[in-house]
Amino acid sequence: MTPSVYCTIGPFFPSQFSDGCNDLTHHNGKPARGQHILLSGRVLEEGGLPTVNTILEIWQPDANGIFRHPLDPRCGQADPGFFGWGRAKTDAQGRYEFRTVLPGAYEWDGALRCPHLNVMVLAIGLTRRLVTAAFFPETSGAVSDPVLDCVPDEAARARLIAQRDPPADSNGALGYRFDLILRGPDETPFFLD
């Protein structure tokens, strides 16, 4: 289900791409500040079939809500130990994992954005890249965010909320699960970027 309202959720890719990695918590030999998390899940087709070798890229602010990108006016204050961008691919069961930090909230266009990270999906068979967001609200029932508000259906909105997954906690990092469904009635909402 693609929302009928178009929203932009980027463009905070790094100005120069590197190979990327799935651990964003170390940069230039320094550890990232803030609560480290493990974000994992599966990328599935309609009917629950896993997608293999699907590429996921994430970009997000640091724990203080600052993007490591020159378009963020606070870029110079970004956490020197946090990379801000990562890449992972799915395995044979459609699983992926990122080690990152719990993103901070930030102001955008006069509104406070709920803590979230942006996700781009590239997979065989897709006619375009898919872009969505994983939100990390303290209270999921009382979330207000300009992008999340573009999705009027409550069930679809719920598919954009990363779920706490305590069994996935590891070495001080809190586990969160965020599954992506590419097609079908339970499709993850995707946005035009």
Q: Give the domain ranges of the chain.
A: 26-181
The yes-or-no verdict on residue 67 having pLDDT over 80 is yes
Question: pTM to 2 decimals?
Answer: 0.85
CA 160 – CA 180 distance, rounded (Å): 9
Buried b (16+ CB within 10 A) or exposed e, 112-150: ebbbbbbbbbebeeeeeebbbbbbbbeebeebebebbeb
The yes-or-no verdict on residue 46 having pLDDT over 50 is yes
The yes-or-no verdict on residue 12 having pLDDT over 70 is no
Q: Which CA distances in Å does 60 have to 6, 14, 69, 162?
A: 20, 11, 10, 14
Range with the poorest average pLDDT among 19-28, 62-71, 122-131, 140-149: 140-149
Q: According to the model, what pLDDT value does residue 140 have?
A: 57
Q: According to the model, what pLDDT value does residue 14 have?
A: 37
166-190 pLDDT, tens digit each:
999 999 999 999 999 999 999 999 9
Which of the following CATH numbers is that of domain 26-181: 3.30.9.10, 2.102.10.10, 2.60.130.10, 3.40.50.720? Answer: 2.60.130.10
Q: According to the model, what pLDDT value does residue 145 have?
A: 85
Rounded to the nearest angstrom, the gap between the alpha carbon of residue 43 and the centroid of all alpha carbons in its chain is 13
CB 22 within 8 A of CB 97: yes
CA 69 – CA 99 distance, rounded (Å): 20
Q: Tell which wins on pLDDT, 50 or 17.
A: 50
Name, in order, each residue with C-beta under 8 angstroms of 109's C-beta and a sequence gap of 6 or more.
Answer: 146
Mean pLDDT of 26-46: 95
113-148 pLDDT, tens digit each:
899 999 999 887 777 889 999 999 776 556 678 888
Q: For the residues of 175-192, what is the DSSP string, one character each?
A: EEE--EE-SSTTPPP-B-
Q: Tell which wins on pLDDT, 108 or 85.
A: 85
Residue 75: count of CB within 10 angstroms of its CB: 13
The yes-or-no verdict on residue 159 having pLDDT over 90 is yes
The yes-or-no verdict on residue 40 having pLDDT over 70 is yes
